[in-house]
């Protein structure tokens, strides 16, 4: 080959190498952008998960309070019945004179 043929070959090799370098830079740029977007999405997901946990904790506390209120309501609703049953059972088992002795 002549000198100009070698120059053209070297020029083509240089352009191909430069093209590969430019393509690599473009791929790295888009990869970096995708990584940043993924990191932002992960951060938003973390925030949403934290909010869900706080909401769940609040709901659990409210549920515990509802159970406590329901327990108190049942206790207070049954108290007169239990007092009546206990006093009638006590009256059936003890004679009136024994009741007088037991009372202060």
**What are the angstrom distances between the C-alpha of 54 and each of 43, 48, 50, 80, 92?**
17, 10, 6, 41, 56
Given this model, what pLDDT does residue 98 score? 52
Q: Could you give the CA distance from residue 24 to residue 30 in angstroms, rounded to a whole number?
A: 10
Domain boundaries, the chain: 3-102
Give pLDDT tens digits for 4-35.
778 889 999 999 999 999 999 999 999 999 99
Buried b (16+ CB within 10 A) or exposed e, 13-51: eeeeeeeeeeeeeeeeeeeeeeeeeeeeeeeeeeeeeee
What pTM was computed for the model?
0.51
Instruction: Give me the pLDDT at residue 88, please.
Output: 73
pLDDT, residue 94, reads 56
Kindly tell me if the per-residue pLDDT of 59 is higher than 60. yes
């Amino acid at each position: 080959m002549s000198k100009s043929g070698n120059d053209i070959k070297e020029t083509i090799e240089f352009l191909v190498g430069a093209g590969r370098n430019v393509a690599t830079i473009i791929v790295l740029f888009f990869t970096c952008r995708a990584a940043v977007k993924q990191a932002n999405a992960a951060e938003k997901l973390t925030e949403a998960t934290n909010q869900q946990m706080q909401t769940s904790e609040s709901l659990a506390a409210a549920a515990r309070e509802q159970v406590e209120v329901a327990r108190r309501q049942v206790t207070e609703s049954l108290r007169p019945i239990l007092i009546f049953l206990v006093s009638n059972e006590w009256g059936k088992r003890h004679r009136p004179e024994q009741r007088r002795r037991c009372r202060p």
